[in-house]
Structure 1
Amino acid sequence: MRNPDLVLDQVRVRYRENWRDWLLHDDDDANFSFPLAAPSADAIARDYDAVGQWLRAWRTWSEAQPVARLRTVTRHTVVGTQEVFTHLDLPTIDDLVALDHGLADHWLRAKTRWKRLNALPGGVATERLRPHLQQIVDLDGADFEILLRSAVWFTEHPRSGLTIRQVPVLGMHTKWLARNRRLVLACLNITPSPDGADQPHEELEQHDLDPLGLKALPVHVDVILADPADRALVGGLRHLRAPLPEVNALPLRPEKVMIVENKESAYLVPDQPRTVVIHSLGNHLSVLNEIDWLQGARHLYWGDLDRAGMTLLSRARAQLPRLMSVLMDPATLGEHQALAIEDETRADPPESNLTDIETAALTGLTTEHGTYLRLEQERLPSPFVLHQLTRTLEVHGFDRGR
Structure 2
Amino acid sequence: MHEPDHVLDKIRARYRNIWRDRLLLGADTAFLFALAAPSAQMIARDSDTVSRWMREWRTWSAAHPTARLRGGSRRTVVGTQEVFTHLDLPTIDDLVSLDQDLADHWLRANARWARLQKLPGGAAEERLRPHLQQIVELDDADFEILLGATTWFTENPRSGLTIRQVPVPGMHTKWLSRHRRLVLACLSIPDLGGDIDQNDEELGQDNLDPLGLKALPVHVDVILADPVDRALVGGLRHLSAPLPEIDALPVHPETVLIVENKESAYLVPDRPRTVVVHSLGNHLNVLDEISWLDGARHVYWGDLDRAGFTLLSRARARMPHLASVLMDQTTLEEYKALAVEDGTRVDTPEPNLIAFEAAALAELLTAHGTYLRLEQERLPSAFVLDQLNRAMEGHGSGQVRY
Q: TM-score range by the shorter chain?
A: over 0.9
Distance apart, 1:215 and its partner CA: 0.4
2:232 maps to: 233
1:326 partner amino acid:
V
1:19 maps to: 19
Distance apart, 1:201 and its partner CA: 4.8
Distance apart, 1:393 and its partner CA: 2.0
Instruction: Tell me the SS of whatever aligns to 1:67.
Output: coil
1:98 maps to: 97
Contact 2:227 2:270 survives alignment (8 Å): yes
Quote the Cα distance in structure 1 between the aligned partners of 2:140 and 2:20: 20
Quote the Cα distance in structure 2 between the aligned partners of 1:199 and 1:353: 26
Quote the Cα distance in structure 1 between the aligned partners of 2:201 and 2:128: 23
Contact 1:272 1:393 survives alignment (8 Å): no
Distance apart, 1:279 and its partner CA: 0.4
Contact 1:310 1:362 survives alignment (8 Å): yes
Quote the Cα distance in structure 1 between the aligned partners of 2:176 and 2:197: 8
1:5 maps to: 5
User: How do 1:7-156 residues align onto structure 2 when only pairs under 5 Å count?
Assistant: 7-27=7-27, 29-156=28-155
**2:175 corresponds to 1:176:** yes
Contact 1:270 1:390 survives alignment (8 Å): no
Contact 2:299 2:324 survives alignment (8 Å): yes
Instruction: Tell me the SS of whatever aligns to 1:57.
Output: helix
Indicate how the Cα distance of structure 1 residues 98 and 200 shifts in structure 2: closer, same or farther if over 3 A, else same.
farther
Distance apart, 1:171 and its partner CA: 1.4
1:390 maps to: 389
2:282 maps to: 283
1:297 maps to: 296
TM-score calculated relative to the size of structure 1? 0.96
1:131 partner amino acid:
P
My pick for the range that moved more, 74-83 or 220-229, is 74-83
User: How do 1:298-317 residues align onto structure 2 when only pairs under 5 Å count?
Assistant: 298-317=297-316
Distance apart, 1:364 and its partner CA: 1.7
Indicate how the Cα distance of structure 1 residues 249 and 399 shifts in structure 2: closer, same or farther if over 3 A, else same.
farther
**2:197 corresponds to 1:159:** no
Contact 2:135 2:182 survives alignment (8 Å): yes
Contact 2:299 2:392 survives alignment (8 Å): no
1:136 partner amino acid:
I
Contact 1:307 1:362 survives alignment (8 Å): yes
Contact 2:328 2:399 survives alignment (8 Å): no
My pick for the range that moved more, 136-145 or 386-395, is 386-395
Distance apart, 1:304 and its partner CA: 1.0
1:288 partner amino acid:
L
1:318 partner amino acid:
A
Quote the Cα distance in structure 1 between the aligned partners of 2:199 and 2:117: 27
Distance apart, 1:318 and its partner CA: 1.8
Quote the Cα distance in structure 2 between the aligned partners of 1:360 and 1:212: 45
Quote the Cα distance in structure 2 between the aligned partners of 1:350 and 1:198: 16
The two structures, once aligned, show a CA RMSD in angstroms of 1.8
Quote the Cα distance in structure 1 between the aligned partners of 2:274 and 2:197: 37
Quote the Cα distance in structure 1 between the aligned partners of 2:302 and 2:329: 14
1:389 partner amino acid:
L
1:280 partner amino acid:
S
Distance apart, 1:190 and its partner CA: 1.2
Residues 336-385 of structure 1: per-residue CA shift (max 9 Å, x gap): 22222211111111122221222222222222232222111112122221
Quote the Cα distance in structure 2 between the aligned partners of 1:112 and 1:316: 48
Contact 2:74 2:83 survives alignment (8 Å): yes
Contact 1:39 1:51 survives alignment (8 Å): yes
Contact 1:322 1:400 survives alignment (8 Å): no
Quote the Cα distance in structure 2 between the aligned partners of 1:349 and 1:216: 28
Indicate how the Cα distance of structure 1 residues 194 and 370 shifts in structure 2: closer, same or farther if over 3 A, else same.
farther
1:331 partner amino acid:
T
Contact 1:196 1:207 survives alignment (8 Å): no
Matched residues, percent identical?
72
Quote the Cα distance in structure 2 between the aligned partners of 1:202 and 1:347: 18
Quote the Cα distance in structure 2 between the aligned partners of 1:55 and 1:246: 81
Quote the Cα distance in structure 2 between the aligned partners of 1:127 and 1:377: 49
Distance apart, 1:269 and its partner CA: 1.5
Distance apart, 1:235 and its partner CA: 2.3
Indicate how the Cα distance of structure 1 residues 360 and 200 shifts in structure 2: closer, same or farther if over 3 A, else same.
closer
Quote the Cα distance in structure 2 between the aligned partners of 1:204 and 1:196: 10
1:197 partner amino acid:
I
Distance apart, 1:34 and its partner CA: 0.7
Distance apart, 1:198 and its partner CA: 6.1
1:295 partner amino acid:
D
Indicate how the Cα distance of structure 1 residues 286 and 268 shifts in structure 2: closer, same or farther if over 3 A, else same.
same
1:209 maps to: 208
Contact 1:179 1:200 survives alignment (8 Å): no
Distance apart, 1:53 and its partner CA: 1.0
Instruction: Tell me the SS of whatever aligns to 1:39.
Output: coil
Residues 203-242 of structure 1: per-residue CA shift (max 9 Å, x gap): 2111110110100111111111111221222222211111
Quote the Cα distance in structure 1 between the aligned partners of 2:17 and 2:198: 27
1:267 maps to: 266
Indicate how the Cα distance of structure 1 residues 68 and 42 shifts in structure 2: closer, same or farther if over 3 A, else same.
same
User: How do 1:312-323 residues align onto structure 2 when only pairs under 5 Å count?
Assistant: 312-323=311-322
Question: Matched residue pairs, number?
Answer: 401
Indicate how the Cα distance of structure 1 residues 226 and 324 shifts in structure 2: closer, same or farther if over 3 A, else same.
same
Distance apart, 1:330 and its partner CA: 1.4
1:17 partner amino acid:
N
Contact 1:179 1:198 survives alignment (8 Å): no
TM-score calculated relative to the size of structure 2? 0.96
Quote the Cα distance in structure 1 between the aligned partners of 2:41 and 2:76: 7
My pick for the range that moved more, 375-384 or 195-204, is 195-204
